[in-house]
Amino acid sequence: MGIKFTKYHGLGNDFILIDNRHDHTPCLNSEQAMKLCDRHFGVGADGVIFALPPQGESDYTMRIYNSDGSEPEMCGNGIRCLARFLADLDGKQDTHHTYQIHTLAGIIRPQLQGKDQVTVNMGQPYLLAHEIPTTLASSEEKVISQPLSVADQSWQVTCVSMGNPHCITFVDNADGIDLETIGPEFEHHSAFPKRTNTEFIEVVSQDYLKMRVWERGAGITLACGTGACASLVAAVLNQLSDRAATVELPGGCLHIEWSLQDNHVYMTGAATKVFDGTVAAIL
């Protein structure tokens, strides 16, 4: 007995995709997912994504465990990979099909674009402190360029939720940030009761941002789709960016647009299949 899987990556943010459409409960628990994500003793990935049966009006349901076993509300790169995985299962690779995916952050709608590109309607950003959540402002206030003390340094931060929490700070040199040291300090800061993803953004121009990210539950990753969306929103709120821009991540670029028409954020980027495999049923 074994569990079949397919490995995908979105700009180097890599995931193990499992066809779990026969059952509403993931076939692996969080501890097993952690072992599967281990890059020395397992397959190696930033997370494990399960394609589950639909809920309500959705086509399918997405569940994901991070490499540390935690379960995020949603994952932008992950849902692009899931859309490509479902297209492979459904035989829709060459169409512009749109899926309705139920996530813990609500219904997300990825649309297939060409060979490996996917455009995702990420919905509207959430900006109020209680929606993030964060204690940096009162419940109904926004957190825009507010001071936050981390590791004996004051940072100006803007907080955005894309269904999961993000803390964005603008820096002169993104490459100069010691992510391994400072990332955990942000993630576990007391101002974020559900922890937070943290993005360090260098504004290259009004339509080009450079980003490095420390992901909640995964650490340093090559890309973060929800983080890129949150960062574009934060840049607009701070009058540092146009409403559409390229976001450069270590693994590649995403095109992000915060639409004036519907207030939704749209993300376009690649989702690439790596290989198929089978793992032992008991890890």
Both tokens assigned to 171: 């820096």
Active site residue 75: yes
Distance CA 155, CA 102 (A): 35
Distance CA 74, CA 72 (A): 5
Is the alpha carbon torsion for 160, 164, 105, 232 positive or negative?
Answer: positive
From the candidates 167, 224, 229, 253, give the one annotated as an active-site residue. Answer: 224
From the candidates 75, 81, 229, 253, give the one annotated as an active-site residue. Answer: 75
Long-range contacts of 142-147 (CB under 8 A, 24+ apart): 142/237, 144/234, 144/237, 144/238, 145/238
Helix (H, G, I), strand (E, B) or coil at 129: helix
Distance CA 183, CA 230 (A): 17
The answer to whether the beta carbons of residues 35 and 65 sit under 8 Å apart is: no
Active site residue 159: no
Instruction: Show which residues are catalytic.
Output: 75, 224
